[in-house]
Amino acid sequence: MATGTRGAYWSEQALPSVLKHSLLGRYIPQFGGMTGSRDGRVVYLDGYAGEGRYESGEPGSAEIAMRVASKHLSQHGLRWTCFFTERERKSFTRLQSVASIYRAQGVDARVHHGEVDGVLDEVLRTGAGLPLFLFLDPCGLGLPWSRLTQAMALRRSPNRWPPTEFLMNFSMVAVRRLGGNARSVKGVERSSERFDEVCGGRWWRDFFPAGKEPAPDADEAVAAEYARRLAAATGMLVRSVPVSKAPHHKPVYHLVFGTWRQHGLWVFGDAAARARDAWWEKLEVAEERNDPDALFSTTSLIRPDPKVVTDAAVPAIAQNLEQLLKHGRPFKLVDHTLDVFGNYYGQVTELAARAAVKRLHEDGKTPSTGVGKKIRDLVVEAPR
């Protein structure tokens, strides 16, 4: 299983990375803002950091984090301790030079040449008592199940402090390839065993039975089961976002997010919806660049209109709110993130939730007006 980047990876940002970086760049500043104010510190690990910056000048995941750290330091005095690990020497060297720019701005950017596994314990020690965010973005298979779940168990506490969250790349290309490997009589057992380690058991092989055609969505079933098991093993709220190279293509990976905080879940869903939009935007721009004389772009024809999606989501979310009111108590939106958004979680921004409260108010089903600074903190009351 290949685990390094190849060819033109670092020349410019490919479409899947647009979504990944947009999501990361929207989410982590909010993680720092929400969790860092208590101690004035946040600890961050980018375990498969790459070069930090593309040759095109666009920031990679490492530079995205360093920019956030620099801004938080200068604007709020919030100190991020950022660990970056990169196994390839060439990428590590480039990453070092990007990090030196941010170190000069006061950012605590620690770049390690080597395996993420070798640095994780130091990260956990540094993060003891402090908010910690792990970004794990391998090209192939990532951390073994036992390593990840033990790290989360170490961080788990009854009062949910300090917060810990992760965003992880779960390779669907690897699932499909290893599924084929497991089914084949010529399959390499060691490759399947390596995936057993990542998945925490052999359960995934059941989705790819020998001598039978696997279900067409066997890969998605494995991703869903992995997320379900991770939630069960860590007690975290786990959600994943599929990322593709083109519309209607199978995802190349899922971005799997884990948190113990409802606030995290709320902000992540909103960021995922906005990042999806950035993906479409980039696709449209790329198409125009490749065919500047076209009368209209194919992308513009198939891109879901965000307004149409939101228009469909608002009544559905209003209905979800009505259901929640049946419990007979007022509730804060953020305390019921998944029930509020239902199937529209990660598909629409938080604006749809405010519109749904307003809709309910107009229909006389709640005295709550939907007016208030932070949408997630809106309280919805039952009719008097």
The residues binding ligand SAM (CB under 6 A) are 3-5, 17, 20, 48-50, 60-61, 85-88, 91, 115-116, 137-139
Task: Specify whether the CB–CB gap between 145 and 188 falls below 8 A.
Answer: no
In the bound state with ligand SAM, the residue whose beta carbon lies nearer, of 193 and 291, is 193
Q: For the CB of residue 172, give the shortest distance to ligand SAM in the complex, in Å.
A: 14
Task: Specify whether the CB–CB gap between 207 and 216 falls below 8 A.
Answer: no
DSSP string, 43-108: EEEETT-TTSB-TTS-B-HHHHHHHHHHHHHHHH-PEEEEEEEE-SHHHHHHHHHHHHHHHTTT-E
In the bound state with ligand SAM, the residue whose beta carbon lies nearer, of 197 and 225, is 197
Q: For the CB of residue 319, give the shortest distance to ligand SAM in the complex, in Å.
A: 38
In the bound state with ligand SAM, the residue whose beta carbon lies nearer, of 99 and 340, is 99
In the bound state with ligand SAM, the residue whose beta carbon lies nearer, of 160 and 245, is 245
Q: What burial class does residue 291 get, using C-beta atoms within 10 Å of its C-beta: 0-12 exposed, 13-18 middle, 19+ buried?
A: exposed
Task: Specify whether the CB–CB gap between 116 and 42 falls below 8 A.
Answer: no
Q: For the CB of residue 295, give the shortest distance to ligand SAM in the complex, in Å.
A: 35
In the bound state with ligand SAM, the residue whose beta carbon lies nearer, of 95 and 199, is 95
In the bound state with ligand SAM, the residue whose beta carbon lies nearer, of 10 and 260, is 10
- Collect all residues with Cβ–Cβ distance below 8 Å to 15 and sequence separation of at least 6: 244, 245, 246, 279, 282, 283, 286
State which residue has the least CB distance to ligand SAM: 60
In the bound state with ligand SAM, the residue whose beta carbon lies nearer, of 36 and 60, is 60
Q: For the CB of residue 178, give the shortest distance to ligand SAM in the complex, in Å.
A: 17
Q: For the CB of residue 381, give the shortest distance to ligand SAM in the complex, in Å.
A: 43
Task: Specify whether the CB–CB gap between 145 and 225 falls below 8 A.
Answer: no
Cα distance between residue 327 and residue 268, in whole Å: 26
Q: For the CB of residue 22, give the shortest distance to ligand SAM in the complex, in Å.
A: 11
Alpha-carbon dihedral angle through residues 162, 37, 27, 368, given to the nearest 10 degrees: 100
In the bound state with ligand SAM, the residue whose beta carbon lies nearer, of 47 and 370, is 47
The token pair at 247 is 């519309």
Cα distance between residue 26 and residue 31, in whole Å: 9
Q: For the CB of residue 12, give the shortest distance to ligand SAM in the complex, in Å.
A: 12
Q: For the CB of residue 329, give the shortest distance to ligand SAM in the complex, in Å.
A: 43
Unique residue bearing structure tokens 């007690």: 235
CA 198 to chain centre: 18
